[in-house]
Each structure stands twice: as C-alpha cells, then as structure tokens.
Amino acid sequence: MYYSIVLVKQVPDTANITGNVMQEDGTVNRAKLPAVFNPEDRVALEMALRVKDQFGGKITAITMGPPRASDMLRECLYMGADQAILISDRKFAGADTLATSYVLAEAVKKIGGYDFIFAGRQAIDGDTAQVGPQTGEKLHLPQITYLEEILKIDGRTVTARRKIEGGYEIVRCTLPVLVTVIKDAVEPRPFSARRVMSHKGAKSLMEIEKMAEGNSLLYVDQLVHEYESRELFIKTLTMDDLKLDPERCGVAGSPTKVYKVESVVLSGGDQEMIEPTKTGLGKLIDKLMEDHILG
Amino acid sequence: MSTMTSDVWVFIEQRYGKPADVSFELLCKGRKLAQGMGGSLKAVVMGDHVDGLVADTFRFGADEAIVIDHPALNQYRTIPYSRILSDLVRTRSPRIVLFGATIIGRDLAPRVASATRSGLTADCTDLQISDVAYLRKDYKNLLLQIRPAFGGNIIATIITPENPVQMATVREGVMEMHPVDNPVAGKVTSIPYIAGPADEIVTIIEQHREENRVNLKAAPIIVAGGYGLGSKGNFKLVYDLAHALGGEVAGSRAAVDAGFVPPERQVGQTGVTVRPKLYIAVGISGAIQHRAGMQESNNIIAINSDPGAPIFGISHYGIVGDATEVIPRFIEVFRNKLK
C-alpha cells in the first residue's frame, strides 16, 4: 500500500491558441481561453493511479487555485483519485513559483503520511518546471524529475528511469520521494463512467456557500456535513486553515514581479522580395556570395 | 548575514567532466552583467577532477572559480549539488546566479531558489542590467529577466526588486559564446566537500547517452523545412539544398511530428535555438515557437507558397513560390555560379 499526493493545476489552454483569442495588439485574451487540466499533471495522476492499481493505497489530488479549479478536481475524482483538496484564498493571488511552493509544501505537511508526491514536470501556462522541485526542497525530500517510467517499487525503495540530455538514467531512491513526470511517460486513462456518475455532484466549500446564498432554507454547515457524509465534499483549505505566514503567500511572498509585458510584434516591411525566377535567384545568390555568406 | 555584493555567479554544468556549452554562453553574458554593475564574475564548478573545467572558465572570462572537487560529485545528483550551492549562496551572497535551462539546470535551480528563498525566472532568452522604477521606488542595477510567456505569444520582463539574490535559467544557444581576448588565470577558491546526511539518498544505477551527432548550433548555414512541404519525398529537396550549399538540415516541429526529419534536427522553442549566418526556411509558416529558435539568424530567406505566411515578417529575403520548383532552380543557379 502506498499513499500518493498529486499536485495538479488548472491552466489556460495555451496549447490551442486560435485566431479569435489573439487581440488586435497581438496579445492573448486570457478570458477567451478555456481552463484545462494541465496535461502533464494528468499524466502524474495516471502514474499515481498505476501505483495504486498494483499495490493498493490511496490518492489525494491537491491544487492551489481559484474556486473554479474545482472543475479540474472533479476530473481527478472521475479518473480515480480518492480525495481532492482545493487550497484557495484571495490572499494567494499573484503567487509566483516560490510562494506557490510554500503553500503547497505546508498543505502537504498538514496532509502527511505520504510515500509519493507526483507532479507534472511543468505547466503549459508558464513552462517553468519550478514548483515541483521548490516544493520538494521545502519538504526536504529527494526528487526524481523528468521521470519516464517507474521500473520497480520494492518496500521503501523505488527504481525509475528518467530522461537526461541525449538519453536516460536509471536511479534508485528511498521513499518518500517527489517525482515530476514528462508528458510521454504514460497515457492518462479516460474518466470512468461509474465515477462520473458517483462524483459529478462533488462540491467545494465555495460552491456549497454559493448554493446556500441562493436559498434561505439551506445552511452551509449542514450542507458540508451532508456532502462529507456522502463523500462528495471537496475539502477546501484557506490560509488560516493552514496557519500560513501571509508574508510568504501571494504577491507579498513572491520575489519575482512582472515588470513589463510586450506582445510579439513581427518586424515586417524591411524584407526584400525575390522573384522565383533564374534572374531573381541569381541576384540573391550573387549578393550572398559577395557578403561571403555563400560559396 | 553578509552584505549584498555585485557578484554574478554562473553554475558550470558538466557531464563526465565535459562542460555544457550553455555554461560558457552564460559566462560571456555574465561578464557583461558584472561589468554593468561593477561586480565580478564567478564560476561555480562542482565535480570530480575539474581542473580542466576551471581553466576553461577563465578562458571565458571568469574572475574567480569557486571549486568543490570530490568523487561524490562525479555525476550530478540533486541533493548534494543543491545543498552545497544553497550553502554557498547563503554565506557568500551573490547578486545574480545563472543556470542553463537544461535538465540539470531545471532540476537544480528551483531547489536552490527555494532553499534560499530567492526569486527565480525560468527559460530567459535575454538578460540586461538596468535601473528600474517600480511601484514608485527606484532600484539601481536590477537584472531584467526577459522570457517568452504564454505559449510564446508575449515577451515578459521579470524583475526581482526586493530580494538580495536574483536567479535565472537561460536557454541553450540564445547567448553568444566566445572566449575573451586576453584571458587571465583567475583566483581559485577551493571549498572542501563535507558529506551531508541525504547526499547518497539517490543512487544512479546506469546511464545511457548518445552524443548528439548533429550540431545545428555550430552550423553557419541551415536549411530548414516545414510541414508545408507536404511529404517526406518533397522534404528531400531540403537535404538537396543543404548539401549543395554545405549546410545542415533542420525542421520545424510540425515537420518532425510528421516524420519528415528526425527530432534532433528540430529548431524552435522545444528544439534547438540557432543563430547561423544563413537560415533558409522552406515551407515553414513561421509560428512563434519556431521563430523563437531562429530569429536571431544573420540572414533569413523564406520560401513559401503563401504570401501571407508570418515567416515573411522576420525574413530578410522572401521568395513566394512552390518549393518543388524554387529549390531545384536555386541549386541549379548556385552551381552555375560556382563554375
């Protein structure tokens, strides 16, 4: 039996930027991008599920994000996670990778008892690949990044293959360990129809509060209790729940700041058009030869 | 707690004692950054028997090498490397620490940044020193960390205004690399290796690596083909043109995905970054991800049947036409000129 915590993130779908998402000034209209389950985090969850399939155990998916990240947590439940936790607080807004890793590490400490922490190598909205290792450091855990395959788990030892430049290496490590997986590691399973039926009603605290707001007969505490008893409560942790230092969260806890953002503008206009004829190409080749670029 | 310095550190990455090019690219850039702040450039060299490596760092302009030489550091492993580097950062307070955005750099840098609570920006494509006014405060000599963001559609400049240490990883191939004109042997500061309790927690059982036989970064002429060529058969024209001109063959991601050209020849954000004297893009539409890997080329020729293709926006010479006609004609005319 192994207990895994999977770090997941909901991201704007930058992989499928189409014309109507681009604004006239060349920047991206974030609002028009759908929010999706970060692809490599889905692979990380699949990896945890395979460990559970083989050895038994339990899987908790956690995310730090806004309330709407519950959509992705429900997808984790549909795939087979036993529990999903939303770590959400207005004070987390604007967090860079350092502040994010602080919050995640504290949440993981509170959950405790884990053998594996799985995460995707990187998220498609920033491609930084930093949050996994930064969280591992705060937990004083060893890490295996760029994991391609778990070869063997034997008692408290895991043997795995990870990608390196131009090849791979096989490493052995004692548990607990933090692992980041690459996209091609395993193919994530589709949602189980049975689990979609049983978990589609799962709700986070914010969603339950919203229900109660619209109906004076409903009380939040009662609802939470009811959802918990039906195992449909997406546990929600705030800054106070985790007893976090506000100076290390959100904007305040983020040493990096975005100073300037520019859209990528094509220089354009200064290129010379060459006729695709022998004469046209001849002139171009002459010029390149004169400049000692060709020949 | 020591006071803030103006020192720029570069982590020198090596595998089997062979240094990664990006480390020298970073020394060249780091030298300029250090000069901009009036600080010195220091190379951090870890490994086993690294004397040769240390000498190399002086050729590329390091003023000082901080060296930890021990058999336990023979191969890169996260914990001993990150533990040692974090301790050094804490005790010696560099102003800037640079890493290659390689698998090793991306494994190591976040651990060190997390341990020392430093700001870290990933995958920078440019670095500059500048005075900055930010939120009504003036900062002297901040590191501008410039990187593509949001799928490459925007360029963001990141700063680390309040933190004593500014860290960044930099993509391989985007900075120029050249030895300094009159290298001087710098100072060598040897730090003894003292084993930590978790150093041996990960064991490397075996490694398989193939040296990349293709060296696109060093090629003065590159002919690259895209999905627009339509078939593997047509892509052969790219090989023909490269052969005629004495260049290397490359491809866009779409061409690699379609199986026209092997992955080690991919240019772009997820491939290699190149800056040859001449880059000929054939049937490449010019998506931002591809442009990011080649737009610094000295001369760019675009051949495309679609006059609206974005590649024309960054090319110096544009040829609108069908590659299956233009390339054979180009080769014929070129061969005639050589006669």
Q: How confident is the model at residue A264 (pLDDT cuts 50, 70, 90)?
A: low
Q: How confident is the model at residue A28 (pLDDT cuts 50, 70, 90)?
A: low
pLDDT above 80 for B3: no
Q: Within this chain, do residues A82 and A204 fall inside the same structural domain, yes or no?
A: yes
Q: In Å, how far is A183's CA from the nearest CA of chain B?
A: 13
pLDDT above 80 for B153: no
Q: Within this chain, do residues A56 and A158 fall inside the same structural domain, yes or no?
A: yes
- The verdict on A106 touching B (C-beta cutoff 8 Å) is no
Q: Is residue A92, in this structure, part of any structural domain at all? A: yes
Of the candidates B272, B266, B246, the residue with the CA atom closest to the CA atom of residue B254: B266
Q: What is the DSSP letter of A32?
A: G
pLDDT value at position A30?
64
The share of chain A scoring above pLDDT 70, in percent, equals 92
pLDDT value at position A266?
56
ipTM of the complex: 0.90
Q: Considering chain B, tell me which residue range(s) the CATH 3.40.50.1220 domain(s) occupy.
A: 216-338
B316 CB neighbours in chain A (<8 A) are 270-272
pLDDT value at position B67?
98
**Is B237 strand, coil or helix?**
helix
Of the candidates A57, A99, A126, A123, the residue with the CA atom closest to the CA atom of residue A256: A99
Backbone angles phi, psi at A52, to 5 degrees: -65, -45
pLDDT above 70 for B90: yes
Q: How confident is the model at residue A263 (pLDDT cuts 50, 70, 90)?
A: confident
pLDDT value at position A24?
57
Distance CA A177, CA B198 (A): 12
Q: In Å, how far is B96's CA from the nearest CA of chain A?
A: 13
| Poorest-pLDDT segment among A61-75, B49-63, B304-318 | B304-318
Residue of A25, A104, A137, A152 for testing the chain B interface, max B β-carbons within 10 Å: A137
CATH code for the structural domain at B8-190: 3.40.50.620
Cβ neighbors of A154 (< 8 A, separation 6 or more) are: none
Residue of B18, B104, B128, B153 for testing the chain A interface, max A β-carbons within 10 Å: B153
A14 CB neighbours in chain B (<8 A) are 150-151, 153
pLDDT value at position B42?
98
Cβ neighbors of B249 (< 8 A, separation 6 or more) are: B222, B223, B224, B225, B238, B239, B242, B261, B265
Contact A98 B120 (CB under 8 A): yes
Q: How confident is the model at residue B152 (pLDDT cuts 50, 70, 90)?
A: low
What range does the domain containing A193 cover? 2-248
Q: Within this chain, do residues A180 and A51 fall inside the same structural domain, yes or no?
A: yes
Taking only the tens place, the pLDDT of each residue in B194-204 is: 999 999 999 99
- The verdict on A255 touching B (C-beta cutoff 8 Å) is yes
- The verdict on A144 touching B (C-beta cutoff 8 Å) is yes
Q: Are B34 and B41 in contact (CB under 8 A)?
A: yes
pLDDT value at position A185?
95
Taking only the tens place, the pLDDT of each residue in A35-91 is: 999 999 999 999 999 999 999 999 999 999 999 999 999 999 999 999 999 999 999
pLDDT above 80 for B83: yes
Query: Two tokens at A249?
Result: 């969260």
- The verdict on A175 touching B (C-beta cutoff 8 Å) is no
pLDDT value at position B2?
46
Q: How confident is the model at residue A19 (pLDDT cuts 50, 70, 90)?
A: low
Mean pLDDT of B124-149: 94
Q: Is residue A24, in this structure, part of any structural domain at all? A: yes
- The verdict on A214 touching B (C-beta cutoff 8 Å) is no
Q: Within this chain, do residues A36 and A107 fall inside the same structural domain, yes or no?
A: yes
Q: Is residue A258, in this structure, part of any structural domain at all? A: no
pLDDT above 80 for A23: no
Q: Is residue A178, in this structure, part of any structural domain at all? A: yes
Q: Within this chain, do residues A276 and A164 fall inside the same structural domain, yes or no?
A: no
Residue of A24, A159, A288, A289 for testing the chain B interface, max B β-carbons within 10 Å: A288
pLDDT value at position B270?
78
Q: Is residue A272, in this structure, part of any structural domain at all? A: yes
Q: Within this chain, do residues A134 and A236 fall inside the same structural domain, yes or no?
A: yes
The overall average pLDDT reported for chain A is 92
CATH code for the structural domain at B216-338: 3.40.50.1220
The arrangement of strands across the sheet holding B299-304 comes to A272-273, B317-320, B299-304, B278-282, B221-225, B248-251
A140 CB neighbours in chain B (<8 A) are 198
Q: Is residue A39, in this structure, part of any structural domain at all? A: yes
Mean pLDDT of A106-130: 94
Mean pLDDT of A264-291: 84
Instruction: Give the best-scoring range by mean pLDDT among A21-35, A211-225, B103-117, B312-326.
Output: B103-117
Q: In Å, how far is B35's CA from the nearest CA of chain A?
A: 23
What residue in A sits closest to B83 (Cα-Cα)? Answer: A137
Mean pLDDT of B127-140: 95
Cβ neighbors of A210 (< 8 A, separation 6 or more) are: none
Strands (E), B118-271: 119-124, 126-134, 137-149, 154-159, 166-170, 187-190, 202-209, 221-225, 248-251
Assign residue A207 the CATH number of its domain.
3.40.50.620
Q: How confident is the model at residue A187 (pLDDT cuts 50, 70, 90)?
A: very high
pLDDT above 90 for B280: yes
pLDDT value at position B1?
42
Contact B326 A144 (CB under 8 A): no
Taking only the tens place, the pLDDT of each residue in B159-196 is: 999 999 999 999 888 888 889 998 899 999 999 999 99
Distance CA A61, CA A72 (A): 10
pLDDT value at position B195?
97
Q: In Å, how far is A18's CA from the nearest CA of chain B?
A: 11
Mean pLDDT of A177-184: 96
Number of domains in chain A: 2
pLDDT above 70 for B286: yes
| Poorest-pLDDT segment among A23-37, A109-123, B104-118 | A23-37
Taking only the tens place, the pLDDT of each residue in B219-261 is: 999 999 999 999 999 999 999 999 999 999 999 999 998 999 9
Q: Within this chain, do residues A270 and A233 fall inside the same structural domain, yes or no?
A: no
Q: Is residue A254, in this structure, part of any structural domain at all? A: no
Residue of B150, B154, B299 for testing the chain A interface, max A β-carbons within 10 Å: B150
Q: Within this chain, do residues A232 and A269 fall inside the same structural domain, yes or no?
A: no
Identity at A165, one-letter amino acid code: E
Q: Is residue A244, in this structure, part of any structural domain at all? A: yes
Higher pLDDT, B44 or A13: B44
B214 CB neighbours in chain A (<8 A) are none
Q: Within this chain, do residues A188 and A272 fall inside the same structural domain, yes or no?
A: no
Q: Within this chain, do residues A285 and A230 fall inside the same structural domain, yes or no?
A: no
Q: Considering chain B, tell me which residue range(s) the CATH 3.40.50.620 domain(s) occupy.
A: 8-190
- The verdict on A295 touching B (C-beta cutoff 8 Å) is yes
Q: Within this chain, do residues A220 and A288 fall inside the same structural domain, yes or no?
A: no
pLDDT value at position A124?
86
Q: Within this chain, do residues A37 and A110 fall inside the same structural domain, yes or no?
A: yes
Mean pLDDT of B63-88: 97
